[in-house]
Structure 1
Amino acid sequence: MKLFKKIVCITLALGLALSIAACETGGNGGGGGGNDDDDYFGGGAGGKTVVRFYSFNNSETNAELKKALKDDFYVKNPDIYVQTEISTGSFYTNLLNDFAGKVEADVFGMEPGEIYPFLSAGYLEPLDNYFAASETVSLDDVWDINKAAYSYDSDTKTFGSGKTYAVMKDWTTDSMLFYNRSLFTADQLAMIEADDDGDGVADPLTFAEFETLCDQLLKRSGSTITQYSFLPGLAEAKVLAQFITNAGLSWFDPANGYQSTFTNPAVKEVVKYYYDILGKNDVNNVGSTFMPIFAQGKVAMIMGGLYCIEAYGLDSLDLGVAYPPVKDDSIECKPYTTGCVGFAISSRSKVKDAAFKFIEWYLNYYGAIDARKCNNFPAMKKYANDMLNPEVNTDPVRLRCTQFFHDSLSKAVVIDRNPYCSQASLESVEFAYTGEYLEGEMSFNEFCETLDYEINKRVRQAKQAE
């Protein structure tokens, strides 16, 4: 199968830059150099307390942050200096290496799917007492999903209760189904916008209905695709995981030591369903976002989060938003939040109070800004209400989509998390082998067996390292 490989490269580079800048702000380790521990763990410089912040930011976003720090944070906190550091490679691999070398930053980014190795090693500082002492931020004003994402009981090794080890900066349901209404017929719109329960929100398509639309909306001129029916807007492994969840399944089995389920017949059925759709759309590579192509009007449906509207200029389209499909009507739709990207503090930091001052400021300063930009929903619920105000959110497309995304938050779940094989590890495995399968170099059974083997290998190695 063939996928315009130049576009893959271009969209990968553009997509990563835009999506990471839009929805992720974390921290960067950046070990090495000749600094001593005082420097690396927030030692003073020029009479100020230095807080090192390791970030997913690109250079442009980092420059904007530095300006905001100068214009606002330093005015309010003249005794603190924030040293920003940008990730230049694999963020979490670098961060774990920095912890191993005792050169980690004071504050850094965190995601629900990546947090477990840091928790099990005792690397993260509980934030509950800092929030309790704060006069401007409260955990009670943070969306409840933060507890599911970042609260952890070390005795029972379960999420959703216990201490709070990170706080998200913003969030969205990341796997909602965007569709370009102008590419649909009246009958097709009636299918995707059906509202049988009359709640004002379209019902999720079943897998069968979604496949029907995918077949109808795919257009070719000879061997060339002129209109793609569906392309993933997220990493393909994230979209695959959403389909598996909406089939009432998981890609791992907690009752069986968190081992892979990719050789389970029911899971294999979903895997084949998903990749058959990608195959028909000539996808033979992975890891790329196709949002730029969707923004050009060449794709009928794609998955993404609220931030995509601003990041890719989607408000220029006749844009619709639907829930991700479910296997059948008996299964509850559970749209993922794949990011909930937020902040954590090193348990070894010598400047924890100053580090939390930065987090506290960020939640308030950028909460107000994000509400005006109508990007992701700020972590502080009080700012999110402004996004539903037509006097603040004056773009009619963004206002309509923001309302729909806001409604979807009540159904949101944190992406399935395997404590012994992170989401990034799943994506790396999928990235390594999906192209071979879609190119016909590997049979479907071989593909599933390879995924199963590689995931179980990582689970086994992680358990041995505990």
Structure 2
Amino acid sequence: MNRSGLISRRRLLSGTVIAAGGVAAAPLLSGCNAGSSGKSSDGGSKGTVTLTVMLGVNDLPKETIADFEAKNPGIKISLLQTDATRLNAMLASGNPPDVAGGGAVGSANTNARGLATDLTPYLEKSQVLKKDDLQPVNDSFRWDGKKIGQGGYYGIVKDWSQDATLWYNTALFDQAKVPHLNDSQPTSYDDLLAIAKKVTVKQGGKTKVFGLGLEWSWNLYAPLATMVLQQGAQLYNEDLTEVDFTTDAARRAVSWYVDFARSGVGPTSLNPLPDGSDQSTFSAKRMAMTQDGYWFGGNFVKDKGLNDAIRMAPAPVIGDKRVSPCYTGQGAWIPAKSKHKDEAWKFMEYFMAGPPAEERAKSGWGLPSLKSLLPKLPQTMPYQKQAYTVAQNELQYAAPLPDSPYVTINAWNVALDKQLQRAIKNEQTVDAACAAINTDINKLLKQGKEQIG
């Protein structure tokens, strides 16, 4: 399968979610379960059904579409490239695609607005996709009407990673005479920053080798939320309508990010990489460490000059609790107003458990969503074997990130970056930054609550 990790992952992690601001001002749709549809728009005739699927072209190449159509006579696929703006417009008009791509983390907003179909009835009948075979990451797609993590399944993850884990270049560590990271024991965030300073190389006033990349332009909410959870604290109140980012745990997380930025050991929004991604810089041996999930290793299968030197390490910790979450968990869902739910489910079975799922697992571009596919992960090359071992051990520390239906992840990222920049530039203190984040997010939460009800 022709899969571009850099392009697809950047698009997916950088905000292909519904409502780029706070919460979209779309009408709340009535819930729609699997039993409420199933007939095609032609009234159930035997004519061809055209299934509109909005996914990345790398996830659904022409060969895969042809294979699905051959195995499902009477169903044709019309592929739309993932586009959040277009998806919003289609949802608002009541004419959505039949299948849409999206992240599990952040799906609370979609589900609270009644935009997605409860897939549980389909799962309970399926001979292909079974609930007990789903990895726990799928729990972030679950919704009980108030919170994620329980209730019905409103989407299924296609592949995922525990994205706080680290990849590093042992050759650059050796050049700096720095010991390699431990395969099973996490590095503290304080030690991580200290190591990053040692492996950073500056020459002529410019950075020749960055010590650490955090994929700053992709996500700030997830890593900061992880740091709070690792300290045993909570971001939200019980009903997810208010956030407290002024706690000691949140302050410590923000302070670490400010220290990281001021140290100059890695890219930030104030000192961004040209392409906004660590991958090209890491591949050029100009970055010693990058905070990326298991999927990142898929970039280096054909790079013999680098795959001999790279290794994966556990997610770093800032508190006493090991938490190694998935930042997004990309998958797919069936809009509530899809006109072809039964056919859409056939596609979901094929895409999530059929040949495409097996190919994704074999490629190493992320962990499979199904437990039964874990053995298919690649272990041919030494770095793949090492990463597989680290990833297997890390699974026990997986935990869902908090997800309020009243604010989007994008809105979080915008607020965090704005206030972090001001703190980094000494325009405000860390305490003031935390207070400002509180104000910004709680305002959006209030608005979201009023819109959704």
Output the TM-score relative to the length of structure 2: 0.82
- How far apart, in 2, do the equivalents of 1:253 and 1:380 lie? 30
1 or 2 for the larger relative contact order (CA 8 Å, sep ≥6)? 2
In structure 2, relative to structure 1, the CA distance for the partners of 1:241 and 1:289 (3 Å cut) is farther
- How far apart, in 1, do the equivalents of 2:328 and 2:89 lie? 22
- How far apart, in 2, do the equivalents of 1:267 and 1:20 lie? 26
What does the per-residue CA deviation read over 1:149-197, in whole Å, with 9 as the maximum and x for residues that have no partner?
A: 122222xx2332221111111122112011111122497326x32xxxx
In structure 2, relative to structure 1, the CA distance for the partners of 1:444 and 1:312 (3 Å cut) is farther
Out of 187, 211, 226, the position equivalent to 1:229 is 211
Equivalent residue for 2:70?
75
Equivalent residue for 1:346?
335
Q: Structure 1: any 5+ residue segments left out of the alignment? A: 1-13, 30-40, 194-200
Equivalent residue for 2:444?
458
Verify: 1:259 aligned to 2:251, yes or no. Answer: no
| Deviation, structure 1 residue 338 | 1.1
Q: Helix, strand or coil for the counterpart of 1:85? A: strand
Q: Structure 2: any 5+ residue segments left out of the alignment? A: 20-38
| Deviation, structure 1 residue 108 | 0.7
User: Is the 8 Å Cα contact of residues 168 and 341 (structure 1) preserved in structure 2?
Assistant: yes
Verify: 1:98 aligned to 2:84, yes or no. Answer: no
Counterpart amino acid of residue 103 in structure 2: E
Equivalent residue for 1:397?
383
Verify: 1:47 aligned to 2:37, yes or no. Answer: no
Equivalent residue for 1:290?
278
Counterpart amino acid of residue 164 in structure 1: Y
- How far apart, in 1, do the equivalents of 2:189 and 2:53 lie? 43
Q: Helix, strand or coil for the counterpart of 1:324? A: coil
Counterpart amino acid of residue 244 in structure 1: V
Equivalent residue for 2:315?
324
User: Is the 8 Å Cα contact of residues 5 and 298 (structure 2) preserved in structure 1?
Assistant: no
In structure 2, relative to structure 1, the CA distance for the partners of 1:435 and 1:297 (3 Å cut) is same
Out of 370, 395, 402, the position equivalent to 1:409 is 395
Counterpart amino acid of residue 300 in structure 1: A
- How far apart, in 2, do the equivalents of 1:242 and 1:188 lie? 27
Equivalent residue for 2:22?
none
Equivalent residue for 2:358?
368
In structure 2, relative to structure 1, the CA distance for the partners of 1:291 and 1:279 (3 Å cut) is farther
Verify: 1:210 aligned to 2:185, yes or no. Answer: no
Equivalent residue for 1:35?
none
What does the per-residue CA deviation read over 1:43-89, in whole Å, with 9 as the maximum and x for residues that have no partner?
A: 4699311211122x1x5x26x5232111x11111110011111134x
Out of 158, 173, 197, the position equivalent to 1:184 is 173
In structure 2, relative to structure 1, the CA distance for the partners of 1:415 and 1:94 (3 Å cut) is farther
Counterpart amino acid of residue 147 in structure 2: T
Verify: 1:149 aligned to 2:140, yes or no. Answer: yes
Equivalent residue for 2:31?
none
Output the TM-score relative to the length of structure 1: 0.80
Equivalent residue for 2:32?
none
Counterpart amino acid of residue 440 in structure 2: E
Q: Helix, strand or coil for the counterpart of 1:230? A: coil
User: Is the 8 Å Cα contact of residues 246 and 325 (structure 1) preserved in structure 2?
Assistant: no
What does the per-residue CA deviation read over 1:363-402, in whole Å, with 9 as the maximum and x for residues that have no partner?
A: 21212112321221222222221226xxxx3222122212
What does the per-residue CA deviation read over 1:248-296, in whole Å, with 9 as the maximum and x for residues that have no partner?
A: 334x222485423233343112211122112212644178322211121
Identity of aligned residues (%): 20
In structure 2, relative to structure 1, the CA distance for the partners of 1:444 and 1:208 (3 Å cut) is closer
In structure 2, relative to structure 1, the CA distance for the partners of 1:266 and 1:103 (3 Å cut) is same
Aligned pair count reads: 416
In structure 2, relative to structure 1, the CA distance for the partners of 1:263 and 1:428 (3 Å cut) is same
- How far apart, in 1, do the equivalents of 2:94 and 2:375 lie? 41
In structure 2, relative to structure 1, the CA distance for the partners of 1:290 and 1:334 (3 Å cut) is same
In structure 2, relative to structure 1, the CA distance for the partners of 1:28 and 1:448 (3 Å cut) is closer
User: Is the 8 Å Cα contact of residues 42 and 50 (structure 1) preserved in structure 2?
Assistant: no
Equivalent residue for 1:438?
424
In structure 2, relative to structure 1, the CA distance for the partners of 1:175 and 1:327 (3 Å cut) is closer
In structure 2, relative to structure 1, the CA distance for the partners of 1:107 and 1:172 (3 Å cut) is same
What does the per-residue CA deviation read over 1:5-62, in whole Å, with 9 as the maximum and x for residues that have no partner?
A: xxxxxxxxx98624247989x9999xxxxxxxxxxx964699311211122x1x5x26
- How far apart, in 2, do the equivalents of 1:16 and 1:435 lie? 26
